[in-house]
């Protein structure tokens, strides 16, 4: 897949174990330290099966990440995290655009995710539609969202 750039940010597949470890470290910072998610909830044992996307700054530091898990026609996007300092700069949108392309490459016809309620607007702007009722995941309110892929 082609890398995607905007400003000083490059979004692409993680290329090696170091980049995956940096992505997981960012998730630890955001979910475990900032949001109080337990490590047991964050580390579900599926990282080895996932395709990891990373957003890298000009110094090649991971400033954003998400992962994709393919399941037939459905691809699940999860573990979207952006460093506190870089939030609000459009990095989530870049990751979502790249995730769409990668999900299609994985054979997906639709992409689904469990969005924290505070982030629903980010996903709606990217074309996701909310489905079902609010649910708790790791003690945080979420909403299932999905998007058909072209």
CA distance 114 to 79: 9
How many residues would you count in the chain?
150
Q: What is the DSSP string of 59-117?
A: T--EEEEEEEEEETTEEEEEEEEE-GGGTTSSHHHHHHHHHHHHHHHTT-SEEEEEEEG
Nearest to 96 by CA among 82, 86, 84: 82
Q: What pLDDT is recorded for position 96?
A: 96
CA distance 64 to 87: 9
* Tokens matching residue 16: 């090696």
Domains of the chain: 4-148 (3.40.630.30)
What would the pLDDT profile of 9-25 be if each residue is shown by its tens digit?
Answer: 999 999 999 999 999 99
Contact 56, 63 (CB under 8 A): yes
State if pTM tops 0.85: yes
User: What is the pLDDT averaged over residues 19-38?
Assistant: 95
User: What is the pLDDT averaged over residues 122-130?
Assistant: 95
Parallel, antiparallel or unpaired: strands 51-56 and 9-13: antiparallel
Strand partners, 10: 5, 56
């Amino acid at each position: 897949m082609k890398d995607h750039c905007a400003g000083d940010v490059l979004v692409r597949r993680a290329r090696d174990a170091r980049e995956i470890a940096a992505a997981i470290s960012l998730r630890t910072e955001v979910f475990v330290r900032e949001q109080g998610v337990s490590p047991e909830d964050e580390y579900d044992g599926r990282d080895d099966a996932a395709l990891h996307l990373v957003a890298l700054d000009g110094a090649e530091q991971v400033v954003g990440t998400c992962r994709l898990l393919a399941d037939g026609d459905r691809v699940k996007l999860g573990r979207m995290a952006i460093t506190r300092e870089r939030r609000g700069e459009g990095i989530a949108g870049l990751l979502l655009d790249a995730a769409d392309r990668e999900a299609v490459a994985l054979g997906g016809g639709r992409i689904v995710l469990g969005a924290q309620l505070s982030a629903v607007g980010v996903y709606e702007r990217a074309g996701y539609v909310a489905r079902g009722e609010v649910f708790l995941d790791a003690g945080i309110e979420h909403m299932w969202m999905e998007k058909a892929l072209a």
